[in-house]
Amino acid sequence: MEITAKMVSELRKSTSAGIMDCKKALIESNGDLEAATRYLREKGLKASELRSGRAASEGQIVSYIHPGSRIGSLVEVNCETDFVARTEQFQNLTKEIAMHIAASKPKYVSQDDVPENVLESEKSILRKQTLEEGKPEHIVDKIVEGRLSKFYSEVCLLEQPYIREVDKTVNQLIQEAIAQLGENIVVRRFLLYVLGQAE
């Protein structure tokens, strides 16, 4: 099948990938736009995994105040270069993350940030609930581990379903941006303010 400039342009518009990458993806998928998009996403996510170890010390601190001025958030998102920090795509990403924080009210950035005492307390509660449900003792710990993932998706920013696309986590949103921008991107820290509530 002939790959036209129009097809390349359409794929580029929907994925923000480079021209040659779009052309290769269309050739690999025999002109199927959906398959080409999937191909680019998979290729980009693999590349983003390789970038995750690189130092990210540039970026932005962004604030979001929800209409009504009762909830606000402040977030630091880092990337590798000042050039990427100034791009519209990176700036849009940071705004989206700040808005997501105000809407979903996470307590921690990632699973690694959950204090040991909080985790142990949650495990203890889940274990008690599981035993009260009459589950056999030998599988309780496995069930508790499974239920912990729900806990993480409620309290950890990166594990939460992204408010605009709930089938995607905030971490997946960031990984897609890494794939498109070609740099490591890290949420360093955030603060959530709710009127009348102490931190």
- Kindly report, residue by residue over 166-192, the tens digit of the pLDDT: 999 999 999 999 988 888 899 999 999
Query: Do 97 and 164 fall into the same domain?
Result: yes
Query: Do 69 and 81 fall into the same domain?
Result: yes
Say if CB 42 and CB 17 are below 8 A apart. Answer: no
The pTM score is 0.69
* Dihedral (Cα; 29, 33, 39, 45), 10-degree rounding: 170
CATH number at residue 30: 1.10.8.10
Query: Do 97 and 79 fall into the same domain?
Result: yes
Range of the domain at 22: 5-51
Q: Residue 199 domain-assigned?
A: no
43 Cβ contact list (under 8 Å, min separation 6):
21, 25, 179
Query: Do 66 and 98 fall into the same domain?
Result: yes
Phi first, then psi, for residue 165 (nearest 5°) are -140, 90
Least confident of 7-21, 38-52, 89-103: 38-52
Domain count, the chain: 3
